[in-house]
A and B are shown apart, each in its own frame.
Chain A
Amino acid sequence: MLRIKNLRCYYGRIMAIKGVSLSVMEGEIISLIGANGAGKSTLLEAACGLLPSWKGEIDFQGNSLKGCDGPAIVRKGISLVPEGRLIFPPMSVTDNLKLGAYTRYRKRQHAEVARDLEMVIDLFPILRERANQPAGTLSGGEQQMLAIGRALMARPRLLALDEPSMGLAPLMVEKILDTLQLLKKEGLTILLVEQNAQAALKIADRGYVLETGKIVLQGNASDLLSDVEVKRAYLGKDYEEFYEGRD
């Protein structure tokens, strides 16, 4: 569905992504894990048209995304849940959700948009209680739900999430990940970028490990979960053994 080949991104003269290739098949949950500054967000931003330029190839459903800006990519069917949620705090929860469907109003889809609004509110019932509240008054977890709901309002084929677990209580993280699994069952393809490797790999089909702009490991999520290297670097287990081994 999404194919990235030899992607290179630059910030000025600094190369943030150094030739990354990955693929996402229809109906999969793919986890992209890596430490701070590995280039995860940059990669997502490139795929979602938020970077001014990149080199390499990105194909979505067989069409190149070269030269597409954010709005064009949303219309093609990729929605991003940005890092730090980036909801619109002074606007009501409903207005935030309606904004998610921004690209669809022009196509006279008012009725469908209203139906999707119901669907999203059914998915996150807490948003119904908060419907007229300014989004800024929501808790962190509720804001994350709102951000996901807003992305769903565009009716994406591929949902890209940038660190949805950031700053959330473990129970809330579980709730969010459960929702993603539910969405997968309904046929949505998901690209999940996470620092919380354990949680992300648990629900994923396959995973990629990104380190300083390169993919250093890839494979089935279950294999990656048991991989010593991954454990050492991201899961925090066997850390002592590693040190002992080196001494």
Chain B
Amino acid sequence: MRRLPPIGHIIFILAVLLTGFLIENTYYFQLLVFVGIHTLLALGLNMLMGYAGQISLGHAAFYGIGAYTTAILTATYGFSPWAALPCAVLLASAVAYVVGLPTLKLSGYYLGMGTLGFGMIGFIVFREWSSLTGGSSGFVGIPPLEIGPVSFYSGRSYFFLVWTVVLGIIILCRRLIDSRTGRALRSIHDSEKASRAIGVDTMALKLRVFVFSAAVAALAGFLYAHFVTFISPGTFDFLASVRMVTMVVIGGMASVWGALLGAFLLTLLPEWLHAFSEFEMVVYGLILMGVMIVLPRGLFRGLLDVFEGAREQTAKRSGGVNGR
């Protein structure tokens, strides 16, 4: 017996279709493409942070590896983007494996420091290896994506491409979480000792999730590079890593929809706050602080609690009426 697709996925597909056909403004499409790319980043990192309970402050490097690999292969060496995609994802995965092997032995603050160091190295490599990456002045001339006759040049077509990928990764993540591997991941979060006692190879599993999240980040980097067609190291600096962590935390850890909300808020908020001109960053910081104070478990959990609370209230009230 096949189960029906979860209600969340249906709402998601409808929302994407509606926005895709109702919006005409190119600027909005551009923003929504960025939201989608950031959602991918948050989804991958969420598997590592929210489910396995490990922090990474260096994920921008994997994002950058994805973007620069495809940029160099397509623009410099004339590869088709679709041939460059697996290279980008594989390279990021391989780097994640090599970096993860020693760093994932660490935990807590030390893992944070270790990955932070890696992120900085990534940024410096993108900036200083100028013969390959174009250095700090950036890399120009990345070709846009095409599938046969369909060219993803317009905002709308790219919007659909990115959000289809997001849907695919959401489904993948959810299937992973509900599997044997997902249960084992959550068990590491609760108690590493107990999960080793029941026979979970925690080290190997952490490494696999780390590689998975790096691969998703590289995929996001690929989509980013072919959308903006110009990349520079600044996009993949330390602050980018911090922003990814913030998206996961603000959205709500250990929740696929939380990652989506976090990406939305952190991408759109700066746009809405332009009105505050020089106070923009102050208001931005205050809003993030406010969210964490009012909804310490993140947007998704927090809103769900508010919703369930309200429903209980109505139930109680109607129950009281019936009682009379």
> Residues of A at under 8 Å CB distance from B?
48-50, 69-71, 73-75, 79-80, 82, 86-91, 95, 98-100, 102-103, 105, 150-151, 154
Contacts and interface: CB of A to CB of B under 8 A. Distances in A.
Interface in B183-202: 183-184, 186-187, 190-191, 193-201
B190 A99 contact: no
B2 interface: no
B186 A82 contact: no
Nearest to B194: A86
B180 interface: yes
Nearest to B199: A74
Contacts of A95: 183, 186
Given A48-B197, A82-B197, A88-B194, 15 more contacts: A50-B197, A70-B197, A70-B200, A75-B199, A80-B197, A82-B193, A82-B194, A86-B197, A89-B190, A95-B186, A99-B184, A99-B195, A102-B200, A103-B198, A151-B198
Contacts of A88: 186-187, 190-191, 194-195
> Interface residue tally of chain B, by bracket?
10 to 19
Given A86-B193, A86-B194, A102-B180, A91 B199 contact: no
Interface string B153-192: 0000000000000000000000000001001101100110
A103 B205 CA distance: 13
Give the residue among A48, A82, A99 with the most B Cβ atoms within 10 A.
A99
Given A50-B193, A89-B190, A98 B199 contact: no
Contacts of B194: 82, 86-88
Contact of B199 (A70, A82, A87, A89): A70
Given A99-B198, A154-B198, A86 B191 contact: yes
Interface of B: 180, 183-184, 186-187, 190-191, 193-201
A1 to B, nearest CB: 19
9 contacts: A50-B193, A73-B199, A74-B199, A79-B198, A86-B191, A91-B186, A98-B183, A102-B199, A103-B198
B144 to A, nearest CB: 43
Nearest to B203: A69
A99 B197 contact: no
A103 B10 CA distance: 35
Nearest to B254: A90
Contacts of B201: 69-71
A209 to B, nearest CB: 25
A150 B194 CA distance: 11
A88 B198 CA distance: 12
Looking at B191, B195, B199, B201, the one whose CB has the most chain A CB atoms below 10 A away is: B199
Nearest to B190: A88
Contacts of A75: 199
Contacts of B200: 70-71, 99, 102
Contact of B198 (A69, A91, A100, A105): A100
Nearest to B179: A105
The 9 closest A-B pairs by CB, nearest first: A74-B199, A86-B194, A70-B196, A103-B199, A88-B190, A71-B199, A80-B197, A105-B180, A71-B201
B198 A102 contact: yes
B183 A50 contact: no
Nearest to A74: B199
